[in-house]
Amino acid sequence: MAWASAVLMTGLGLLFAWLIVSGDIDNYINTQFIAYTYLGAAILLLLGLYSISVAFGWLRTMHSPHVGIAAVGVIAAPLLLGAIVPSRPLGLDAVAGDIDSADVVARTDSELESISLEDTAQWTVLDWLAAYYATNDFSLLEDEPADLIGFVRFEPDDGDGFFRVTRFMVSCCVADTLSVDLPVQYGPDAQVDGELAAGDWVQVTGNATVAEISGDVQPMIVASSVSRLDEAPESAYLFP
């Protein structure tokens, strides 16, 4: 069991270190908490070195705890999953349920009074929703320019000529993700990069408006162009 402990601790430490170096750690946690993964990787590697020293007999342990197969399995599971399952951001298959406006407001500090309308072309899907839910007068944002990146999702109730540009909001880690989206309608002269498929990552430019869609009044983007992206952006999640 000393060697099992050595392999597992060292392996987990190396896995954490690889996720940090490769940048794949962004697929799992909010970037503001990455510093803690440095500490976690360092602790695991130190435990691995200690276990290797014990296994070789270089150090004598003060006690000899019994580590069962079940405990080894629990520790080995994340190492195996991390090594076998490719690291990628959440996508279309992880979307579940409708947007909870109260949750969006609770997770953001946005207030329309503090938002500069000169920056709307830099806003994310989350920024638009936070601004919309923070005001009862969306006319302040009517016809403002939008430039958004997200993946394509179709809602059958939206009808033809619509799709949803969707992202995931992550407060802490992927365990607390919330999908957020904005309906997109093609403008009369919209330039579209081929036929879009569900799950495609796209960049949408156009102007904001508000409309009744699927029985609800909500913000919407009237697209002047929709360009398909080869892959998800480097930071696929939105952080409140």
Contact of 168 with 177, CB cutoff 8 Å: yes
Whether 76 and 101 share a structural domain: no
Q: Identify which of 231, 177, 178 has the alpha carbon closest to the alpha carbon of residue 203.
A: 231
Query: Would you state the pLDDT for residue 216?
Result: 76
Q: Which residues, including other chains, have CB under 8 Å from residue 193's CB and lie 6 or more apart?
A: 202, 226, 227, 228
Residue finishing a domain among 84, 109, 140:
84
Asked if residue 165 has pLDDT above 90, the reply is yes
pLDDT digit string (tens) for 189-237?
A: 889 888 899 999 999 999 999 888 777 778 899 999 999 999 888 888 8
> Domain limits at 46?
2-84
Can you give the CATH number for the domain in which 196 is found?
A: 2.40.50.140
Whether 131 and 231 share a structural domain: yes
- Single-letter code of the amino acid located at 124: T
Q: How far apart are CA 10 and CA 137, in angstroms?
A: 56
What is the phi/psi pair of residue 150, to 5°? -175, 180
Whether 141 and 171 share a structural domain: yes
The strand pairing partners of 162, in sequence order, are: 185
Whether 113 and 143 share a structural domain: yes
CB atoms within 10 A of CB 207: 17
Whether 69 and 112 share a structural domain: no
Supply the pTM of this predicted model. Answer: 0.73
pLDDT digit string (tens) for 30-78?
A: 877 888 888 888 888 888 888 888 777 776 655 445 555 666 677 777 7
Asked if residue 152 has pLDDT above 90, the reply is yes
Joined together, the tokens standing for residue 116 give 């500069």
The strand pairing partners of 238, in sequence order, are: 169
- Count of the separate structural domains present in the chain: 2
Whether 80 and 107 share a structural domain: no
